[in-house]
Structure 1
Amino acid sequence: MKSYRDLIVWQKSMNLVTLVCSLTTEFPENEKFGLTSQIKRSAVSIPSNIAEGYGTNYRKDYSRFLQIAKGSLFECQTQIEIGVNLNFISVENCKEINDLSIEVEKMLNSLINKLADN
């Protein structure tokens, strides 16, 4: 593997950011600096921490950045659910995001476990 860009979990988390950003365009204007901003920040944090962790020289540090990415993913999942509860997002519109976020979650768990085993 030559770069963090080769990691499928990074690629899928980048796709998640794109979906989240397009979904939040439907949020009310008065949420621009509230929930909209918070969801985008948490989504952007996922691939950012994967990349940053990949660039470290130590397995333990890499694992820690992956844990942070997982925390940001859970934050994003929660905020999407809040958007549904507030009727900013329809259940149908967030299905693709939910499915992708669960896939990223499983991949992060697998990579974290792999690092712990070695």
Structure 2
Amino acid sequence: MIRDSLPRPHQRLEVWHDAMALVTGVYEYSSRLPREERYGLVPQLRRAAISVPSNIAEGAARGTPRELHRFLSIARGSLSELDTQLEIAARLEYGSAPDDLQQTLDRTFARLNALMKSIAARADESPITHHPSRLPNAR
């Protein structure tokens, strides 16, 4: 199977790259949680983290500003869920999320909110083509 050499629409979004870094950070952090959380908090953290870039990607592939905004909203919900789960881990005294993980989470929130605001402003425009200049905040 030959893959198109152009980046996919989601790969041109900075927020998607942040979300991918967030997944890596969550996996590293969660691997250090107590063994008894192997079937509790660990999979919850990982599922929430994975959901963020996955929904950004799905929304970018959908083709309309309205659908993109809807999937970005789902991604933001997963990001809030992840933030809460990291707080739960800290309150259970498993240790706070490392500073770099917290900074990546904060940056992802900020970029996601900015992109959603931009998309909402453009919601009445014609469908997004998969041309890089049509995606707001694209690389």
In structure 1, C-alpha distance between the alignment counterparts of 2:28 and 2:90, rounded to whole Å? 15
Measured after TM superposition, the shift of residue 2 of structure 1 is 5.0
Aligned to 2:120: 116
Unaligned stretches of 5+ residues in structure 1: none
In structure 2, C-alpha distance between the alignment counterparts of 1:35 and 1:2, rounded to whole Å? 32
Aligned to 1:103: 107
Aligned to 2:92: 86
In structure 1, C-alpha distance between the alignment counterparts of 2:9 and 2:59, rounded to whole Å? 12
In structure 2, C-alpha distance between the alignment counterparts of 1:14 and 1:81, rounded to whole Å? 20
From 44, 48, 61, the equivalent of 1:42 is 48
In structure 1, C-alpha distance between the alignment counterparts of 2:94 and 2:23, rounded to whole Å? 18
Unaligned stretches of 5+ residues in structure 2: 1-6, 123-139
Measured after TM superposition, the shift of residue 21 of structure 1 is 0.3
In structure 2, C-alpha distance between the alignment counterparts of 1:78 and 1:2, rounded to whole Å? 31
- Aligned residue pairs total 116
Asked if structure 2 preserves the Cα contact closer than 8 Å seen for 1:16 and 1:43, the reply is yes
Aligned to 2:72: 66
Measured after TM superposition, the shift of residue 94 of structure 1 is 2.5
Q: Does residue 81 of structure 2 align to residue 75 of structure 1?
A: yes
Q: Percent identity?
A: 35
Aligned to 1:10: 16
Query: What amino acid is the match of 1:76?
Result: L
In structure 2, C-alpha distance between the alignment counterparts of 1:78 and 1:68, rounded to whole Å? 15
> What is the TM-score when the length of structure 2 is the normalising length?
0.79
Measured after TM superposition, the shift of residue 33 of structure 1 is 1.1
Aligned to 2:133: none
Measured after TM superposition, the shift of residue 24 of structure 1 is 0.6
C-alpha RMSD over aligned residues: 1.3
Q: Where does structure 1 differ by over 6 angstroms across 4 or more consecutive aligned residues?
A: none
Equivalent residue of 1:50, what SS? helix
Query: What amino acid is the match of 2:38?
Result: K
Aligned to 2:131: none
Asked if structure 2 preserves the Cα contact closer than 8 Å seen for 1:42 and 1:73, the reply is yes
- Which structure has greater helix proportion? 1
> What is the TM-score when the length of structure 1 is the normalising length?
0.93
Of 59-68 and 94-103, deviating more is 94-103
